Amino acid sequence: MSNEDIFKPKKKETGAKKFWRIVFGTMVGFFLSCIIVSILSMLMFAAMIASVGSTNTVTVKDNSILKLDLQKPIQEQAVDNPFEMFGDEFSQYYQSTIGLDDILACIKYAAKDPKIKGIYINTGSVGAAPATLKEVHDALVEFKESGKFIYAYADSYTQGAYYLSSVADQVTMSSTGVIEFKGMALQVMFYKGLLDKLDIDMQVIRHGKFKSAVEPYLMDKMSEANREQMTLLASTLWNTMVDDIAASRQLSAETLNKIADEMFLGTPKKALESKLIDKTCYKSEVAQDLKKLVNVTEDKDLNLTNLADYRKAVKAETNTAKDEIAVIYAVGQITGGKSGNDIMGSETMVKLIREAYTSENVKAIVLRVNSPGGDGTASDIIWNEIEQAKKAGKVVVTSMGDYAASGGYYISCNSNYIIAQPNTLTGSIGVFGLIPSFQKALKNKLGVTIDAVTTNKHSDAAGTMRPLNAEETAVFQEFIDEFYGVFTQRVADGRGMEQSAVDEIGQGRVWAGADALKIGLVDALGNIDDAIAKAAEMAKLDNYKITYYPKKQDFWTKLMEKTSGDNNVQAIIKQELGDQYYIYQGLNQLKKAEGIQALMPLQIQFE
């Protein structure tokens, strides 16, 4: 810049220009301030939650009672909801769940905690499938061996809630309540009529006469083969529940079945007469019973601690052992890629399994499977990583939850030992492919037609715009049959069976855990603790610590996952539909069923 330029007089700023400069500057400053304040507010809020969460320690008082309310959905692992501390007004904005791991850990810890004198079950319904109910039930039975009491009350009981509450020393309910006790029904929804109305042709290639996952799209009722397997399933699940209730209530199975046959949506009077409950009372009277049980007289001395608070007070036992048992959670429908909300991604699972077996400290792996299956190729990829873990010298024990079927059994069959609950749904050794054709639907319903040019004879095969021809169907059938052969050989090798024997019990048939034990698909019945104990025994470990994979996510990580993309949509739909979510699942399966599927019937509804 020259001296001339420096001393050159400046042009006078016009009023309009000055006005817009001030306005624009003010707007920019305002927006920048808003952004900065928003960021600082978010950081302060996150810090506040983290600070409260870290300092909000819970002290359990003497003569306390652990209160169990299990109405929220129970998952294998759940995330702490920091909004719980602010009460229902805040926590309702984040639909929290209960972790089965937390429930079992709290019940086990309470049994030896001198400050806990007993358990108060206060749940009228339970958000869980039969195997999860069984796991909680058995933990309560074991708790009673400590000599401490269990007391149960609900205004009304669903069948699952009564099953858990029947463990109690005293089972009570409102004098105007209802007990649902009617037996087990497995319902399957069929979509053929809908597809016919829409002129959608569903082309199915499958191997396995029991592979009923495809039936809802082809039929309007169960096939005889499907009805056969469903009848056995329902009987086994129901008998497990009846036997447990009979043992707790000192009633015979025959008596309980007679009650169910009479459609015993029980009035309290009938429930008393049949010894399903011990007395009727109002909830205000429950406090008097509980005070007597802990030998106090004043309301202020009655200390109830809920599950959310108690799990904060439960102290993990310090364990300096070098040897580790890795518990790897394999939960959700199996797909390729990364895991997400109710999804088990093969990429994520391979990473977790490899991390465990490449650790020198990990001597054994417990694979906790809760999956109905899914993509066949992804299942095989996970199977192979289990094979690599065994080749690395690690013992692998599978613990089955509610489901370990089809692809869920595929990834389990290679384990050194398999433990299932008697009412786990497993097996379903079979594969299928679904290819919908929308050609008629587009033409007849929308007046849209499709034309194409191709370079080769089958360039447009396996699309959704035209049906397969006979030659193409034969090719896909050969592909499905070949994969079924791989599946049955995997099972035969893993279970020490002949492939022909696997085929006899395979064909896509679903088995309850108790029946799977009889035919050699599993080695024993039990829970995840039994699986850990077996892994320690097989690895010859006396002193060890347990490491969980994946590590439990914190609230904020999980919240970001829930609010991103498809996960957020699925979470919203699931929350809105509630018990009817399985209807949406069945329809949504049409979109996801690409490639070979090793999947059990997702649309089973327990009643």
Q: Catalytic pick from 134, 211, 534, 558?
A: 211
DSSP 336: S
Residues with Cβ within 8 Å of 66's Cβ and at least 6 positions away in sequence, in order, are: 106, 107, 110, 116, 118, 119, 120, 305, 307, 310
d(CA 601, CA 80): 31
DSSP class of 496: T
Q: How far apart are CA 125 and CA 111, in angstroms?
A: 24
- Residue 258's Cβ-side half-sphere holds a number of Cα atoms within 13 Å equal to 9
Catalytic-residue membership of 174: no
Q: Is 317 helix (H, G, I), strand (E, B) or coil?
A: coil
68, 120 Cβ separation under 8 angstroms = yes
Task: For residues 129 and 434, give the distance between their C-alpha atoms in angstroms, rounded to a whole number.
Answer: 27
Strand partners, 369: 330, 400
Question: Is residue 406 annotated as a catalytic residue, yes or no?
Answer: yes
CA distances in angstroms from 313 to 58, 66, 431, listed in the order given: 5, 12, 47
Helix/strand/coil for 156: coil
| DSSP run (H or E) holding 131 | helix 130-144
Cis amide leading into 422 (omega within 30)? no
The residue annotated as part of the active site, out of 156, 406, 415, 428, is 406
> Contacts for 472-478 with beta carbons within 8 Å, 24 or more apart?
473/203, 473/205, 476/205, 476/433, 476/435, 477/205
So which residues are the catalytic ones? Answer: 211, 406
